[in-house]
Chains A and B, each alone.
Chain A
Amino acid sequence: MNTVPEARPMDVVLDAPRAAAQDAPPIVELRGVSRRFATSLDFAAKLAKRLGVKVREDVVHAVDGVNLSVRKGEVVGLVGESGCGKSTLGRMVAGIMPPTDGTVLWHGRDLKALSGAEARQAKLRTQMIFQDPYASLNPRLKVAEIVGEAPAFHGLVGRGGLDDYVDEQLRRAGLDPALKRRYPHQFSGGQRQRIGIARALAVQPDFLVCDEAVAALDVSIQAQILNLFMKLRRELDLTYLFISHDLGVVEHLSDRVVIMYLGRVVEEAPAEEVFARPNHPYTRALLAEVPRIEARKRAFAGVKGEIPSPLNPPPGCHFHPRCPHAFDRCRVERPALREIAPGHRSACHLNDAA
């Protein structure tokens, strides 16, 4: 039997890192990670409290007991609706926000236990890219300074070589180095995102956490930036956590998809698998509502009900007030995230029925 598969040239390029990621060691691993915020009291409430009135300080459960690992070389897409905790989870993965409970392992080692120098290393090698690059670019610095500041400070490049080094980062991000004496406000949204990417690349990261990095861009510019992310992945062997509310973008880019609802991971699987065989009722509802350009004059329905407040999440399965299949157990017991097929995990009591 001939076992050599017919290779299409495109597959060779794209599937190589994907296959490698299967058993690669995790770059980051979260174990039982939660993050809570105390909502700050407004003035009236503070005053009332001081006067002895009982005021409940509300606690937001932004992330609630999440296990997640990102292996070297893979692109993990993180999706979910507004307020479900994607950005909070992303910040903890990037090591810029400590969890309230649980452990974040970086290359197998507890982030909290790293020495000063190691912690700095960890921070440099993981970079975040945000939705609004403008807010994260210092308006008073020229592009060359924005991109060159960190590598110069951390001694990644000598003073003499800095100019060339900055040019190389800009070229990589698809910007003409001739523009490097300009200020951020002189650029369009897409170009600013490229500046943000050049700045991140300048410290030689191996892991990028992109939080809605293309959400603010027009489709035609979004396509350019997505292509850039894919090109950089191949050239620099990068690993990504790609946070987005746009399922089309996530489907296109990711090897593995993680779906969150109200602070918890409800489903996790290889990308093809999630889109072909969604298991969790929330995932299925979400996929049914995504507008598709292929659909013509379709009947929309919407998922009934509102997204509940994380201040006061429903007991049991967080999705039960909106779930068409909810039964008694769902209202009291949190469903565990369980493997239902190789690499495919889902948190729903229905899977226990069999």
Chain B
Amino acid sequence: MPPTLEVRNLRTHFFTRAGVVKAVDDVSFAVDRGKVLGLVGESGSGKSVTGFSILGLVDPPGRIAGGSILFQGQDLAGLSEEEMRRLRGNRIAMIFQDPMMTLNPVLRIDTQMIETVLAHAKVSREEARQRARDALGQVGIPSPEERLRAYPHQFSGGMRQRVAIAIALLHKPDLIVADEPTTALDVTIQGQILAEAQKLCAESGTALIWITHDLSVVAGLADDIAVMYAGKVVEEGPVTQVLDAPLHPYTVGLIGSVPSRNHRGEPLRQIPGMTPSLLNLPAGCAFRARCPRAEARCAEPPPMAEYRPGRFARCIHPYEEAAAA
């Protein structure tokens, strides 16, 4: 059986007046039933655009400029807008950082959820309501029957996010793309949502792509991890291997910057410089201006290579052994 989702050499570019922004430029990864892929990177690295591309939500001046997105073996890039709409919210769902991207502020929760059920399933209104109630209960919302009659503004941020997740769950999708869904939430509430996400994958076999800038969340949640930098995946592999023995100098730098990876009170190991603009990015490795291992060859674009079984890195000079991260 093919994996639930396989993205191959995806390119999503924005053709702006100032030039071509290669927001996603040769991204590949796969995620299987019941598994969690953590897609990590700093702001502007192309995580959200990757997510939007999978859902077919890229608007002009952006468009998918190459590659394929295979969902259960079927290429989504070839589907019509109508076919895509049928998959969205049904077999594939997205959860956004801001739950109000999903929720309509002027409609009661029950109206929104029932409409979502009826859009993809031939059931009675009463049954749709029942499903909505169950979904709210599933994400840990107390007294779901009462809560159904509320409006989004009557919920706290964490509750709103749980309602958005409940809506994503309504049709028991095979794939969920979650884009920084807990970034705006407090840790005690984040913990509740991460617990729901884990339960979901384990119980219903949903494949989950969890987009975040927070390596610590991915460490606890994901099976595999793909690290993005300047529109490309620069390292990929099982979470434990990537975090314990990173190959790519950027991954090493990123892990080293996390305060708990350093001795209390001592200077943090920092990556010098800042992320380059994606507009007119020079050829070669995009990390080379900040890389302690850069050499002349790095002016050529480094290919993604498998350095150990299942361990990929886009670097011609990776760390061989466990680097001091």
Contact = CB atoms under 8 A, between A and B. Distances in A.
Interface of A: 10, 14, 81-82, 188, 190-191, 218-224, 226-227, 230-231, 245, 247-249, 251-253, 271-272, 285-286, 288-304, 306-307
Contact of A293 (B193, B194, B213, B261): B261
4 A-B pairs closest in CB distance: A302-B192, A302-B191, A289-B191, A303-B188
A286 B260 contact: no
Contacts of B274: 188, 190-191, 221
A82 B184 CA distance: 10
Contacts of B191: 288-289, 300-303
A153 B307 CA distance: 61
Nearest to A231: B267
B264 A251 contact: yes
B265 A293 contact: no
A231 B267 CA distance: 8
A81 B186 contact: yes
A247 B266 CA distance: 16
Contacts of A81: 186-188
Contact of B219 (A190, A222, A249, A294): A294
Interface in B220-276: 220-221, 223, 239-240, 243, 253-255, 257-272, 274-275
Q: Which of A221, A227, A248, A293 has the most CB of B within 10 A?
A: A293
A307 B188 contact: yes
A299 B198 CA distance: 8
B279 interface: no
B217 A248 contact: no
B192 to A, nearest CB: 3
B192 A293 contact: no
Interface in B151-199: 156-159, 186-195, 198
B26 interface: no
Nearest to A249: B259
B190 to A, nearest CB: 7
Given A252-B265, A300-B191, A302-B195, A291 B270 contact: no
Interface in B1-54: 42-43
Given A231-B267, A302-B188, 15 more contacts: A10-B266, A218-B213, A219-B258, A223-B270, A285-B188, A286-B187, A289-B190, A291-B219, A292-B220, A293-B215, A294-B260, A297-B239, A300-B195, A301-B195, A302-B195
25 contacts: A10-B263, A14-B265, A81-B186, A218-B213, A219-B254, A223-B257, A224-B271, A224-B272, A227-B267, A251-B259, A252-B264, A252-B268, A291-B214, A291-B220, A292-B260, A297-B220, A298-B220, A299-B195, A300-B195, A301-B195, A302-B189, A302-B191, A302-B193, A303-B188, A307-B158
Contacts of A300: 191-192, 194-195, 198, 220-221
B203 to A, nearest CB: 14
Interface of B: 42-43, 140, 156-159, 186-195, 198, 213-217, 219-221, 223, 239-240, 243, 253-255, 257-272, 274-275
A283 B224 CA distance: 31
Given A224-B270, A302-B194, A293 B260 contact: yes
Contacts of A252: 259-260, 262, 264-265, 268
A219 B257 contact: yes
A208 to B, nearest CB: 17
Contact of A307 (B156, B221, B259): B156
Nearest to B268: A223
Interface residues of B, dominant DSSP: helix
Nearest to A15: B265
Contacts of A224: 270-272
Q: Which of B188, B193, B219 has the most CB of A within 10 A?
A: B188
Contact of A245 (B158, B186, B255, B264): B186
A222 B272 CA distance: 11
A190 B159 CA distance: 32
Nearest to B189: A302
B187 A230 contact: no
A293 B254 contact: no
A298 B266 CA distance: 28
Contact of A292 (B156, B158, B216, B223): B216
Nearest to B269: A223
Q: Which of B159, B186, B240, B275 has the most CB of A within 10 A?
A: B186
A289 B189 CA distance: 9
Nearest to A84: B186
Nearest to B263: A10
B177 to A, nearest CB: 20
A306 B271 CA distance: 38
A10 B265 CA distance: 9
A253 B240 CA distance: 27
Contacts of A291: 187, 190, 194, 214, 216-217, 219-220
Contact of A219 (B140, B215, B240, B264): B215
B188 A293 contact: no
Nearest to B275: A218
Nearest to A190: B274
A245 B263 CA distance: 20
Contacts of A190: 274
Given A294-B260, A296-B220, A220 B194 contact: no
Contacts of A297: 220-221, 223, 239
Contacts of B275: 218
A218 B156 CA distance: 26
